[in-house]
Structure 1
Amino acid sequence: MTKRTDTALLVVDAQESFRQRTDDWAATANPKVLDHIAQLVEHARSSGDQVVWVTHSEPGTDGVFDPVNGHVRVVPELKPADNEMQVTKTSVNAFTTTNLQQQLTLRGVRRLVICGIRTEQCCETTARVASDLGFDVEFVIDATTTSGIPAGGNYGDVSGEDLMDRTAGILAARGFATIVTTAQRVGEPVAV
């Protein structure tokens, strides 16, 4: 199948590093995230959309994001295809420390569908930067996940569910992205 060049699914940080943080992963707000991402990947492939795999790396930290420890790789159940673009970032968003914008522009991509891990961090920041760069953005909220943030300073605990809700609300209200669900994305196309 010939790839359509107007739409790309960005799978952000669906990587083994997060599962190595066992307490954090066990507390994820959306335990079905990998199933939903898999549905989006299957739909993108069957629709001729491009699939882009983004991983996060922190070289020299000796932690779960340090590539020398072997966890900076897409979780095995998602299995990127050989012909699909893969980029590794060292910033929160997928653009600043990669050539992703150039690669997408060269391929004629104008619309990005974003899913992945850390709803309010890497996924949201990628959506905001993508919008600023002129891409139309769909944010598939139930194909993202995060975990809660414990109280700090003058702030109380924030649950992962609250972070996901707030992210969706802010992205939509400020015009950064159209918020959709996996079912909406794999059903009829959603206008952006």
Structure 2
Amino acid sequence: MSITRLNNPALLLIDIQKGFQDVAYWGGDRNNVNAEEKAGELLEIWRSKKLPIFHVQHCSSNPNSILHETNRGNEFQDLVKPLESEIIIKKNVNSAFIGTNLKELLDNAKITDLVIVGLTTDHCVSTTTRMAGNFGFNVYLVSDATATFNKKGINGEEFSAELIHQTALASLNEEFAQVVTSESIKEFV
């Protein structure tokens, strides 16, 4: 792994919002129930080392969505609540790069290494990771600090959250990112 503190890696915390605590709303089951805790541990390390932090917040344009800005579900979970000095990127699509100034902020700060955590592995985490990789960033996707929910297939079949998570990670690994664990990141930062 080539990530080091000297590279000034940025931590991107994607959509760790209260609305994702409503498991029934998203599919009835989820994997990595400790993902937010792992993300919180990394956040504390980033804060203690004064490394760059970006909180990404999904702000659904659908007023009925649990993630709409008028709903409590839009709020960040307490474990990763941003400090006043930390940057918040608000988005309303699956990528943290579309319709935001995230790339400009990263480029202006000369950041080349990104560590990505958050929700959900197969949606916003995946889309942001793919775009980051395509933009040329060195991306480290933290497998145990990301999670997703069960999905219903196009023919009505049930897919477990763990299967969805693992296949999303497999699709990203070694092409758009290096999939790592929180422990391995802690060793290098």
- TM-score w.r.t. the length of structure 2 is 0.89
Residue type matched to 1:128 in 2? R
Counterpart check, 1:157 vs 2:158:
yes
Q: Report the 3-state secondary structure (helix = DSSP H, G, I; strand = E; otherwise coil) of the residue aligned with 1:39.
A: helix
Residue type matched to 1:63 in 2? S
Counterpart of 1:180 in structure 2 is 180
Alignment RMSD: 2.0
Q: Report the 3-state secondary structure (helix = DSSP H, G, I; strand = E; otherwise coil) of the residue aligned with 1:142.
A: strand
Counterpart of 2:65 in structure 1 is 63
Question: 2:9–2:114: 8 Å Cα contact kept in structure 1?
Answer: yes
Residue type matched to 2:150 in 1? G
Question: 2:120–2:148: 8 Å Cα contact kept in structure 1?
Answer: yes
| 1:1-192 mapped onto 2 (5 Å cutoff) | 6-22=8-24, 24=26, 27-153=29-155, 156-173=157-174, 175-189=175-189
Q: Report the 3-state secondary structure (helix = DSSP H, G, I; strand = E; otherwise coil) of the residue aligned with 2:66.
A: coil
Gaps of 5+ in 1: none
Question: 1:141–1:168: 8 Å Cα contact kept in structure 2?
Answer: yes
Q: Give the Cα separation in 1 of the matches to 2:138 and 2:7.
A: 14
Q: Give the Cα separation in 2 of the matches to 1:145 and 1:151.
A: 18
Deviation at 1:22, TM superposition (A): 4.2
- TM-score w.r.t. the length of structure 1 is 0.88
Q: How many residues align?
A: 185
Q: Report the 3-state secondary structure (helix = DSSP H, G, I; strand = E; otherwise coil) of the residue aligned with 1:187.
A: helix
Q: Give the Cα separation in 2 of the matches to 1:49 and 1:144.
A: 20
